Structure 1
Amino acid sequence: MAEKGLTAARAGVLWALFHDGPMTQRALATRLGVTPRNVTGLLDALQEDGLVVREPHPTDRRATLVSLTDEGRSVTSALRGGRDELAALLFADVPPDQLGTFTATLVQVTERLRAASAHGHE
């Protein structure tokens, strides 16, 4: 991410748009768990870099629709490829039963972190 000039927060915006498609700024803020103001700052930087575009929503004139540009899709695809290569390197020799246990534990811990965050235990 660093070589692409992306912070974790900016990469999170790209991932959300890559996986869920175009969405309003409000929906994006909700998806990322940040304030709409925070999303505006992230989008300003990503738009300046040519990775996202903001356009009027086709059916809601009060909303702005955010989507990836071709360059944004290309960058996100490259990040995904790098992530997949790293995962293959890290887990190549891990037996399937251990990987299954690790994955189940990671899901459980992630759910607990989300629950704690939702209840103000940040």
Structure 2
Amino acid sequence: MKIVEPISRKLIRLGKLYLSELEKVTNHLDINQYYYVLTLICYHDGKLTQTALADMLGKDKSAMVSIIDNLSEHGFVFREVNPADRREHLLRVTEKAKEAVPEIVGAFEEMNNTMTQNISADDMAVFYNVLLQMQQNLNSIQTQPHNITV
């Protein structure tokens, strides 16, 4: 029998390393997770519902509630009743978030540049295309019966 490392382990390790370094740069901002979620909410300030954000990120509604609750507890976002549909809540950012998000975006840019140094634009395009194809491959099997034997 041979050992096969799942591709997901490599991606998870890379993601953990990325987030660990990102936390070092942003630790003074009182946020240690959900960086990208916060940037999306800020970008769409007041025009995005929890449901729309969950759909955008591929998260279920209960996970999205927990994420928004966490960002709310840390003083970054708040919910506002949608005047056009009182059943919906629009997501808004606080002044604290408006100050933090440019630093977070700058940290993303710095981390992305560091992570991709010495990698050509062509290689990065291939990498992104391969990731997209892998995602599409996995998405396509979700609707099919599993033929994988263990």
Q: TM over 0.5, yes or no?
A: yes
2:107 aligned residue: 82
2:116 aligned residue: 91
2:94 aligned residue: 69
Aligned residues: 118
Segments of 5+ residues of structure 2 without an aligned counterpart are 1-21
Change (3 A) 1:75 1:109: farther
- What amino acid sits opposite 1:109 in the alignment? M
Change (3 A) 1:19 1:64: same
Please state how far the C-alpha of 1:54 moved relative to its aligned partner. Answer: 0.9
How far apart, CA to CA, are the structure 1 residues paired with 2:43 and 2:88? 21
Please state how far the C-alpha of 1:117 moved relative to its aligned partner. Answer: 7.7
1:13 aligned residue: 37
Equivalent position to 2:54, from 29, 36, 40:
29
Contact 1:16 1:31 in 2 (8 A): no
Please state how far the C-alpha of 1:108 moved relative to its aligned partner. Answer: 1.9
How far apart, CA to CA, are the structure 2 residues paired with 1:105 and 1:37? 31
How far apart, CA to CA, are the structure 1 residues paired with 2:36 and 2:118? 29
How far apart, CA to CA, are the structure 2 residues paired with 1:95 and 1:55? 44
1:111 aligned residue: 136
Please state how far the C-alpha of 1:116 moved relative to its aligned partner. Answer: 5.1
How far apart, CA to CA, are the structure 2 residues paired with 1:5 and 1:117? 36
Please state how far the C-alpha of 1:12 moved relative to its aligned partner. Answer: 4.2
How far apart, CA to CA, are the structure 2 residues paired with 1:50 and 1:40? 15
Segments of 5+ residues of structure 1 without an aligned counterpart are none
Contact 2:68 2:77 in 1 (8 A): yes
Identity of aligned pairs, percent? 25
Superposition CA RMSD, Å: 2.7
- What amino acid sits opposite 1:58 in the alignment? P
**TM-score normalised by L of structure 1:** 0.73
Q: Which has the larger radius of gyration?
A: 2
Contact 2:49 2:91 in 1 (8 A): yes
Contact 1:12 1:32 in 2 (8 A): no
